[in-house]
Structure 1
């Protein structure tokens, strides 16, 4: 594939006059386990601060997912165990942990905005030494340029008996469904199940989550092994990745929208921002049919999508200004039922709800 340009942090909406920072994106595949990586990733361009809005907990569907993850951990560890979440974001998962009172917990994230004193606004360093029964990495490892070295650092920091619970996007799902807009600059790594589990010699369990879009691996942190990963930094060991099938699938999927003159996008997060970016690049005529971008996260509303500068509006804008014959394109199919129910309750017009 040839390199393309993508917004560096699609989950950081911008002001109307703000310029989007974009980075070069080129995928290659590594190892027999099929890890895929953006080999042009520049971590110096990444800055997670208060403008980073990756919280999905406003959705009931996503809350159910987080509870399902929590129950996996609760069933494995006894009451009073020490849980530490590294890269806890806005703290939504730790809110569940806190409210249940089953675990003793800590969290670390430089982008945290709340007032929980057990969550520290910083990254971990080699100077840290922390007791934990389970270290939780939810949607963190895919952002790390050298995942094995990062896990090696955690092995040094945490208790010798600690287990690590890793949740990341499932590349098997992305590849099977050919979802072009699931490739994000800030996600430098894309793990197959085999790639994720290959870093440990002692994996307790692994499985898919969230309708197959995510996956988890629960492993003994001390069983970290570099077998198959020792040549990770050798560029000669990386193979070309065929990106064309994803572009072709995208072009084919948008043809199904030809009958609609007015298109609403539901989801102003990563998928929505990248869908719009590719739509503008590949088919400007289709892009001009977009009449609004809806997101239920109030911290995104009133701001604009990176790269394409469309205003992000609350659902009420859609309810008030949609027309008969409009289509609402839901960026994540997992939310289709939730969105259909919301529109059915609030809109008396003939509006279609679809996902690609």
Structure 2
């Protein structure tokens, strides 16, 4: 195996929040050792231990509170419509059910599966996927699931087998090429075992019906024929290395946070924000608050750093005009500026721009 990247003691579930600061400080951690298998070309965390992870109601990864993200879901639904309109669907890993409900509104007969589901839809099974559930459909949706599976090929094979070896699948995952190009060290998470590129899906499936990028290039998608799943084989051209200056942004962000007599806030208390805060606070940088518009996160504490999550209104009461707001995802920048009345100095961490 070729080692690409190493980070120690990251939160094992960066989207799990805690009721008290003490519980957050004591939250479990794990190491990340990214390697590439030269035979398959796949990139994964060789130090991953699945026994550390437990998805429950305290795991909050709902992004549909944002209008920007809802627009993304609409664009994904349009891709699904293009190939699966009128067909029965299963959504594996439906989360809190936002995309599932969107597809139901568009007329799909769809069953969801997710152990962290909190709603009351009788067509959602609150459990991990397994073949014994006896589910089958003409199409399968897997949005941000495959990166969590320790053995993605076996997981895909289990779904294909449970579905009678048939079906078209829409798969969406974070894009490793985008992470490398943007030096997005804050996008390396413990619970993401795998890191994919478009070429990986060309190798894993004999027929890729459609493929591309969504959400400003941060995610990639592939519409694939599940019957053509195969063991990938890599060539020398498929080998990858992370940029030599991949982690340089940590020091630059630290200098911006500590270079003036300003308060510092993180806007976006989800995965990127949690990892950003973990790296920076371990280097002595002080953050006064994390802001997030997801009500389920507000008033709770982020893992490891125990940074408290506030609403936009509460954040405004804690900050002064001109204070630093580190925007965790530039896709949301315009939305954040509007919600905060353009009162702060905004730093987009994925472009390292001060606005």
Relative to structure 1, the CA distance from residue 329 to residue 261 in structure 2 (aligned partners, 3 Å threshold; closer, same or farther) is same
Alignment partner of 1:23 out of 24, 30, 36: 30
Is 1:293–1:312's contact at 8 Å kept on the other side of the alignment? yes
2:224 to 219, 222, 225: 219
Deviation at residue 27 of structure 1 after TM alignment: 1.1
Cα deviations by residue, 1:140-177 (Å, 9 ceiling, x for unpaired)? 00000000010010111014430111000011000111
Which residue is equivalent to 2:132?
A: 127
Normalising by structure 1, we get a TM-score of 0.90
Unaligned stretches of 5+ in structure 1? 230-238
Residue aligning to 1:109? 114
Deviation at 1:273, TM superposition (A): 0.6
Partner residue in 2 for 1:4: 8
Q: How does 1:1-356 map to 2 (within 5 A)?
A: 1-14=5-18, 15-18=20-23, 19-31=26-38, 34-79=41-86, 81-101=87-107, 103-228=108-233, 245-257=245-257, 258-259=259-260, 261-281=262-282, 283-284=283-284, 287-288=285-286, 290-344=287-341, 350-356=343-349
- For residues 12 and 172 of structure 2, what CA distance do their matches in structure 1 show? 22
- Alpha-carbon separation, structure 1, partners of 2:340 and 2:242: 39
SS in 2 for 1:114: coil
SS of the residue 2:59 aligns to: coil
Measured after TM superposition, the shift of residue 243 of structure 1 is 7.7
Give 1:132 deviation, angstroms. Answer: 1.1
Q: 1:97 to 1:69 in 2, by over 3 A?
A: same
| Residue segments in structure 2 that go unaligned for 5+ positions in a row | 350-355
Q: Residues 351 and 2 of structure 1: is their aligned pair in 2 closer, same or farther, counting only changes over 3 Å?
A: closer
What is the CA-CA distance between 1:297 and the residue it aligns to? 0.7
Deviation, structure 1 residue 104: 0.8
With normalisation by structure 2, the TM-score equals: 0.90
- CA deviation map 1:215-236 (0-9, x unaligned): 100010010011428xxxxxxx
Q: Could you tell which deviates more after superposition, 298-307 or 12-21? A: 12-21
Moved more, 90-99 or 142-151: 90-99
Q: 1:154 to 1:260 in 2, by over 3 A?
A: farther
Distance 1:60 1:70, change over 3 A: same
In structure 2, the partner of 1:232 is: none
Query: Aligned pairs, how many?
Result: 338
* Alpha-carbon distance between aligned partners in 2 of 1:327 and 1:249, rounded to the nearest angstrom: 16
Q: Shift of the alpha carbon at 1:299?
A: 0.8
Counterpart CA distance in 2 for 1:25 and 1:245 is: 18
> How far 1:29 moved relative to its partner?
1.5
